[in-house]
Chains A and B, each alone.
Chain A
Amino acid sequence: MSERTRTALMWILGVAVLGAGIWMLVKDDDGLRVTDVWARSSPMVDGAAAAYMNIQGGAEDDALVSASVAADVAGKVELHETRMVDGKHSMQMVLGIDIPAGGSVALEPGGYHIMLMGLVEPLEPGEIFDTDLVFESGATITVEVEVREG
């Protein structure tokens, strides 16, 4: 093997390793996509608010397992589901929201929401705050929540 061939092989190998590294990084995110993230403005100072969004699944089945916001936004964050039992609506905390591979799950009024409790200040329309989403796969995504007139 000539010096030249060896160098070329090294390059090819190097690029392949680098490529795999980049691919791993992307795969780590699992192709998850989060869009249309919003929360309804709230008249209450010490009240609660709900954040909604659309989550598109990646290559593998996954689940949203927790969410968090800065302490100056809300004291506590939980995943909730509004359910109707015997004609009555109520909210239940859920431990995870399944995001099937290639599927799409809407967190929307009357269904799943990210529940913000102990709001430090009322949410004003036009405001934007960050929410960190943690998935079962280990992927984490930070999204900007836009407060809309509610």
Chain B
Amino acid sequence: MKRLAAGVLTTALLVAACASGPPEYAGVVRSPAPDVSAATLPDVLAGGAPFRFVAPEDGLLIVHFGYTSCPDVCPTTMANVRSALELLGDDAERVSVAFVTVDPGRDSDDILATYVGYFTDGGHGLRTDDPTELRAVADAFGADYSVTGTAPYIEVEHTADLYAVDDRGRIRLTWPFGTRWQDVASDLVALLGEEKT
């Protein structure tokens, strides 16, 4: 009887939580959630083994498209990810991070590995020489990029959003560039709470 009462109470609380409406995120919820589970790219931090865009079970995968010689937008974004994960404490273990280079011509495996290692612990550095393969992955995320000109005057344009992918390979949130890292952190906490239930 006691157990039943507790069960009823839990249900009541859940209903109350749901009645207050869907959670408010700083990130953008796209509908339907884009499915990126079919995409793979070689991971330079795993000896080039194919990496699938799927989070660890009950966890999240954070993805950013950029290039390592980007001095402004990319390191700002990656440093924000690092700050957000630091704030998460132990829960950060449930979040993995992947950086996809849109400039494989200049970002060698070694350069990319150093770069990703600088900003993350156990992150994934994704790189392909096959432009069709890279474009297909970017399309799945709704990301765009272009690399034009010849060295040393190379201009790179890229979508600077940050994505949170769940363990089924669905993009749950898209954070535009400029989202405060504290807001990214609280969105991650909310999403990880949902993943557990």
Closest to A85 in B: B157
**Interface segment, B13-21, B53-61, B65-73?**
B65-73
Within residues 66 to 113 of chain B, which ones have a CB less than 8 A from any CB in chain A? 68-69, 71-73, 75-76, 79, 111
Residues of A within 8 A of B158 (CB): 88-90
Within residues 23 to 45 of chain A, which ones have a CB less than 8 A from any CB in chain B? 40, 42-44
Interface size classification for chain A: 20 to 34
Q: For the complex, count residues of B whose C-beta is within 8 A of A.
A: 24
Instruction: Tell me whether A113 and B115 are in contact (CB under 8 A).
Output: no
Closest to B69 in A: A47
Q: Which of B68, B75, B114, B119 has the most CB of A within 10 A?
A: B75
Residues of B within 8 A of A115 (CB): 71
Within residues 75 to 115 of chain A, which ones have a CB less than 8 A from any CB in chain B? 80, 82, 84-91, 109-110, 113, 115
Q: Is A145 an interface residue (CB 8 A)?
A: no
Q: Is A126 an interface residue (CB 8 A)?
A: no
Instruction: Tell me whether B115 and A50 are in contact (CB under 8 A).
Output: no
Instruction: Tell me whether B71 and A43 are in contact (CB under 8 A).
Output: no
Instruction: Tell me whether B76 and A110 are in contact (CB under 8 A).
Output: yes
Residues of B within 8 A of A109 (CB): 72-73, 76
Residues of B within 8 A of A149 (CB): 79
Q: A50 with B144: in contact, given A40-B79, A43-B114, A85-B157 (CB under 8 Å)?
A: no
Instruction: Tell me whether B72 and A43 are in contact (CB under 8 A).
Output: no
For the A-B complex, the count of residue pairs with Cβ-Cβ distances under 8 Å equals: 67
The answer, among A42, A86, A90, for a CB contact under 8 Å with B75, is: A42
The answer, among A47, A50, A90, for a CB contact under 8 Å with B156, is: A90
Instruction: Tell me whether A89 and B75 are in contact (CB under 8 A).
Output: no
Q: Is B194 an interface residue (CB 8 A)?
A: no
The answer, among B79, B111, B144, B178, for a CB contact under 8 Å with A88, is: B144
Within residues 22 to 42 of chain B, which ones have a CB less than 8 A from any CB in chain A? none
Cβ contacts B170-187/A at 8 Å (1 or 0 each): 000000011000000000
Instruction: Tell me whether A110 and B68 are in contact (CB under 8 A).
Output: no
Closest to B66 in A: A89
Q: Is B45 an interface residue (CB 8 A)?
A: no
Closest to B119 in A: A43
The answer, among B75, B144, B159, for a CB contact under 8 Å with A150, is: B75
A40 to B159, CA, bound (A): 21
A47 to B114, CA, bound (A): 13
Closest to B68 in A: A44
A109 to B160, CA, bound (A): 12
A127 to B96, CA, bound (A): 31
Residues of B within 8 A of A147 (CB): none
Instruction: Tell me whether B71 and A47 are in contact (CB under 8 A).
Output: yes
Instruction: Tell me whether A88 and B157 are in contact (CB under 8 A).
Output: yes
Would you give 18 A-B contacts (Cβ < 8 Å), ordered by A?
A: A43-B68, A44-B68, A44-B69, A44-B114, A50-B71, A50-B72, A82-B72, A82-B73, A87-B144, A88-B144, A88-B145, A89-B73, A89-B159, A90-B155, A90-B156, A91-B155, A110-B72, A115-B71
Residues of chain A whose beta carbon lies under 8 Å from any beta carbon of chain B:
40, 42-44, 47-50, 80, 82, 84-91, 109-110, 113, 115-116, 149-150
